[in-house]
Amino acid sequence: MVNTYRGLDRDEEEFVDILEDKRHCSDLSFAFRTFSPPPYKGAPTCSSTELNQAVLESQYLRYVIQEVAVETGSSVEEVRDKVCRILQEMSQNLQLRFIRLMGFTVRKVFKRLFSAIYVNMKGVSALQQATQEFPVILMPNHRSYIDFLVVSYILFSYDIPVPVIAAGIPLAGMKIVGEILRRSGAFFIRRAIGSDKLYWAVLSEYVQTIVRRGFVPLEFFVEGFRSRTLKSLPPKLGMMHMILEPFFKGQVYDVTLLPISISYDRVLEESLLAHELLGVPKPRESTMALLKASKVLQENYGRMHVNFGRPLSVRQLCEGKINRCQYNLIPRDLPQKPSGEAQACGSWLAHMMVRLQEEGALISPWSLMACTLLQVPTTVLTEEGLLFHQLTEQTLWLRKLALDFGAHLSWPEKVPDSDVMSSTLALHRSVVYHKAGRVYLVREDEDERKYSVIPEEEMMRTAAAFLMLASYRNQCLHVFVRPALLALAMSITKSTQRDELLTCFCFLQEVFSNEFVFIPGRFSQDFEEACSLLKNCKAVHVSQWEVAVSDTGLEVLSFLQELLKPFIDSYQLMFRFLCEERDCVFREKEFLSAVRTLATKLIASGELHTYESLSSDMQKNVLSMLQRLGAVTKLEISENTEYKVNKSAVRRIGDMLAGRIPPQIVQAAPDARL
């Protein structure tokens, strides 16, 4: 199973710096290069007006408009007008002129921001081939706003049809920029569509029409949002399903999915994201904000790696997973809820795509260093400083472990390790600095930003730095998470029995499935993978019935356990909070701020060691996990969503996580995310 989705050859792929050869030719002549992508075999291209027309006149929308008109009591014309407006707000207007303009600007910006943009050429040529055959869906991970532009830019450079891109509606609101994005192929989707049936229908038909026509690749972020924590997010399934449906219904022969892993040495939005996690509201996307942000242009963000995965055939992947005959007895245009089978298939594929993005990601030296730094006591980093050679030693040890676990590293070759270390530290001087053989954490200068809203500013500044570190650590967590869960299971159960460990492992996956991405229904394969990885690095002995620590394994295991400690600690903190709270009913906002207050107090008193419990992302994850496991129920009372806690259930989960009672596989409610 592992092999079927492991898209990349393990041998080193050739990455080419696309800025390198272009530095010699002028930006202008780049923008005006002849752009002649090979044509799509299936059908001729169609303009965005034709596309909109086709959507508007589709049988499916005609049905939905009728339905909505009946339900709302308005006339068909009114509903149709509404559809037109939605479509107008949504639709892209891809024009080659604007691609050229975009190419010109992006190139200028990129050259300033990045020292190199590495792209795997094999992947690019496979993509070029694929775009001629079947509809192609580009699925990059989403870590930065830059992601929007970089794929189109690369495709433009290599004569591949430039994609239309699903983007969040706030971008459309930006003056001029919104329009430029629209004309560069972006189409805009509202956030929180909820149960707006008409909107869903228009979006679905729009996306499906693009897939059915197939002449242009469709790009979307399966994670749904930019990851605030640089960790992969569990995929959103609505869009995924829209893309699969034309295949399920036989309207296209096949759909090609192409995972793209974009890895940044340093993310432009690093500090913004950390502050967002601490509760500082995200600045609204506006053109003014963009201009103000031009300050970031003055800094260096190191290298970017764009790894195009192997094109995957949906037809092949879904073989045996979906019975396409299920669509035979009802007109395919009729609005229908996807069947359980179709939903499961979409969910499985979406999760797999995220895993493929993870596997294609290149781990930077900095990410490994962040792992190491986070395992050092807080005071060492803030006060006395960590010895540089100690950091180097630890990082190199970790590098070996990561390679053993099959990670791709972007560790520069033919450069002495100490140079790599110090240049990495230099690149990340916003987080750490290197002075007299020791490494210290930077705490933000008070003058630079004003966050007077939040009390205990001192702590917040440290917290921001730690959350940035944690985010960079998160970039490589997927490499370690499966063996780490096994290591954790070993320490929780204090057992060597395979079946006991498997049960605990499953429990942990269930608990942390909002935190890390696991492909549904693959518990036991993941367990086997974890066993064999730990066995390969000689940390455990594996036999038919047992998994036991080896003599030399303690170092690896304790590192892995330590890696997950911030998560365990934060989760336990929140469990404690929920159990100790007098009231059984609370609102999400109240919960977030109360937990934050409690965590702040405990960190200050030295009782809690991780700043990650302050992260709103983690707090939300705990809530949805508890909800999934039935320990918290959502009460829909008017506009305010309230939650009701089942304290004993929460306590039980906490106890199982602490090893006080043996873990059981908790029966989760079926995944209702769509």
Partner 1 sequence: MASNSSGDGSSRHQIARHRLSVIAGHLQRPADSNAAVLAVDCKSQGSQPNVNTGDRGEGRTIPRRRQEIMKWNGWGYSDSRFLFNKKGQAEFTGKRYRLSGMIIPGLKDWMEGTFGASLQHKTQATPVLNTSAVQPPTLNEAFVKELKSTGIPFSHEAEDRVFRAHGHCLHEIFALREGKIGRVPDMVVWPNCHNDVVKIVELACKHNVCLIPYGGGTSVSSALECPPEETRSIVSLDTSQMNRILWIDEKNLTAHVESGIVGQDLERLLNESGYCTGHEPDSMEFSSLGGWVATRASGMKKNIYGNIEDLVVHVKMVTPRGVIEKSCQVPRMSTGPDIHHFILGSEGTLGVVTEVTIKIRPMPEYQKYGSVVFPNFEQGVACLREVARQRCAPASIRLMDNEQFKFGHALKPQVSSIFTSFLDGLKKFYITKFKGFDPNRLCVATLLFEGDREKVLQHEKQVYDIAAKLGGLAAGEDNGQRGYMLTFVIAYLRDLGMDYYVIGESFETSVPWDRVLDICRNVKARIVRECKDKGVQFPPLSTCRVTQTYDAGACVYFYFAFNYRGLSDPVHVHEQVEHAAREEILANGGSLSHHHGVGKLRKEWMRETVSNVGMGMLKSVKDYVDPNNIFGNRNLL
CB of 250 to partner 1, least distance (A): 4
Q: Which is nearer to partner 1, 29 or 323 (CB)?
A: 323
Confirm or reject binding of residue 332 to partner 1 (CB under 8 A): yes
Q: Which is nearer to partner 1, 74 or 323 (CB)?
A: 323
Strands 218-219 and 136-140 turn out to be parallel
Q: Which range in 32-40, 331-339, 415-423, 471-479 contacts partner 1 by CB under 8 A?
A: 331-339
Instruction: DSSP for 313-363, please give it.
Output: EHHHHTTTT--GGGGSSS-TTS--PPPHHHHHHHHHHHHHHHHHHHHHPEE
Q: What angle do CA 8, 373, 621 make, to 5 degrees?
A: 65
Confirm or reject binding of residue 320 to partner 1 (CB under 8 A): no
Q: Which is nearer to partner 1, 315 or 609 (CB)?
A: 315
Q: What share of the chain is helix, strand, coil (3-state, %, to 5)?
A: 55, 10, 35
Q: Of 167, 39, 18, 199, give the one whose Cα is nearest residue 92.
A: 167
CA-CA distance, 210 to 216, in Å (whole number)?
7
CB of 257 to partner 1, least distance (A): 17
Query: With contact defined as beta carbons under 8 Å apart, do 643 and 635 qualify?
Result: yes
Q: Which is nearer to partner 1, 287 or 323 (CB)?
A: 323
Query: Residue 584 is encoded by which pair of tokens?
Result: 């059984």
CA-CA distance, 314 to 668, in Å (whole number)?
28
Q: Which is nearer to partner 1, 330 or 672 (CB)?
A: 330
Q: Which range in 232-240, 256-264, 326-334, 492-500 contacts partner 1 by CB under 8 A?
A: 326-334
CA-CA distance, 489 to 508, in Å (whole number)?
8
Confirm or reject binding of residue 57 to partner 1 (CB under 8 A): no
CB of 253 to partner 1, least distance (A): 4
Q: Which is nearer to partner 1, 47 or 552 (CB)?
A: 47
CA-CA distance, 536 to 75, in Å (whole number)?
67
Q: Which is nearer to partner 1, 236 or 332 (CB)?
A: 332
Q: Which is nearer to partner 1, 192 or 329 (CB)?
A: 329
Q: Which is nearer to partner 1, 190 or 332 (CB)?
A: 332
Identity of the residue numbered 183: R
Instruction: DSSP for 275-307, please give it.
Output: HHHTTPPPPP--HHHHHHGGGGGGS---EEEEE
CA-CA distance, 327 to 345, in Å (whole number)?
15
Indicate the SS3 state at residue 187: strand
Confirm or reject binding of residue 325 to partner 1 (CB under 8 A): yes
Confirm or reject binding of residue 4 to partner 1 (CB under 8 A): no
Q: Of 215, 185, 171, 178, give the one whose Cα is nearest residue 103.
A: 185
Q: Which is nearer to partner 1, 53 or 251 (CB)?
A: 251
Site residues (CB under 8 A) for partner 1, limited to 250-269: 250-251, 253-254
| Region of residue 46 (left: phi > 0; alpha: psi -120 to 50; beta: else) | beta
Q: Which range in 68-76, 113-121, 170-178, 324-332 contacts partner 1 by CB under 8 A?
A: 324-332
Confirm or reject binding of residue 521 to partner 1 (CB under 8 A): no
CB of 472 to partner 1, least distance (A): 44
Q: Which is nearer to partner 1, 238 or 311 (CB)?
A: 311
- Pick from 328, 524, 633, 640 the residue near partner 1 by CB under 8 A: 328
CB of 339 to partner 1, least distance (A): 15
Q: Which range in 160-168, 246-254, 447-455, 643-651 contacts partner 1 by CB under 8 A?
A: 246-254
List Cα–Cα distances, 3 to 12, 37, 255, 306, in angstroms.
17, 32, 21, 22
Q: Of 201, 186, 183, give the one whose Cα is nearest residue 148.
A: 186
Which residues are 433's β-sheet partners?
440
Query: With contact defined as beta carbons under 8 Å apart, do 94 and 48 qualify?
Result: yes
Confirm or reject binding of residue 324 to partner 1 (CB under 8 A): yes
CB of 350 to partner 1, least distance (A): 22
Confirm or reject binding of residue 215 to partner 1 (CB under 8 A): no
Query: With contact defined as beta carbons under 8 Å apart, do 45 and 215 qualify?
Result: yes
CA-CA distance, 139 to 127, in Å (whole number)?
12
CB of 87 to partner 1, least distance (A): 23
Distance of CA 548 to the CA centre of its chain: 34
Confirm or reject binding of residue 145 to partner 1 (CB under 8 A): no
Q: Which is nearer to partner 1, 242 or 564 (CB)?
A: 242
Q: Which range in 98-106, 317-325, 452-460, 490-498 contacts partner 1 by CB under 8 A?
A: 317-325
Q: Which range in 63-71, 318-326, 414-422, 423-431 contacts partner 1 by CB under 8 A?
A: 318-326
Q: Which is nearer to partner 1, 308 or 327 (CB)?
A: 327
Q: Which is nearer to partner 1, 179 or 333 (CB)?
A: 333
CB of 324 to partner 1, least distance (A): 4
Q: Which range in 123-131, 281-289, 320-328, 364-372 contacts partner 1 by CB under 8 A?
A: 320-328
- Pick from 114, 187, 308, 327 the residue near partner 1 by CB under 8 A: 327
Q: Of 509, 659, 471, 491, give the one whose Cα is nearest residue 560.
A: 491
Indicate the SS3 state at residue 542: strand
Q: Which is nearer to partner 1, 331 or 521 (CB)?
A: 331
Confirm or reject binding of residue 331 to partner 1 (CB under 8 A): yes
Q: Which range in 328-336, 497-505, 572-580, 619-627 contacts partner 1 by CB under 8 A?
A: 328-336
Query: Residue 97 is encoded by which pair of tokens?
Result: 């002129």
> Burial code of 544-554, b = ≥16 C-beta within 10 A, e = fewer?
eeebebbeebe
By CB under 8 A, how many residues form the interface with partner 1?
13
CB of 328 to partner 1, least distance (A): 4
Confirm or reject binding of residue 333 to partner 1 (CB under 8 A): yes
Q: Of 464, 454, 416, give the one whose Cα is nearest residue 611.
A: 464
Residues in the chain: 674
List Cα–Cα distances, 44 to 47, 50, 55, 96, 216, in angstroms.
10, 12, 17, 16, 10
Site residues (CB under 8 A) for partner 1, limited to 31-50: 42
CB of 228 to partner 1, least distance (A): 42
Element (H, E) at 637: strand 632-637
CA-CA distance, 486 to 161, in Å (whole number)?
44
Indicate the SS3 state at residue 635: strand
Q: Which range in 73-81, 93-101, 319-327, 641-649 contacts partner 1 by CB under 8 A?
A: 319-327
Site residues (CB under 8 A) for partner 1, limited to 374-403: none
Q: Which is nearer to partner 1, 250 or 377 (CB)?
A: 250
**Residue ranges binding partner 1 (CB under 8 A):** 42, 250-251, 253-254, 323-325, 327-328, 331-333
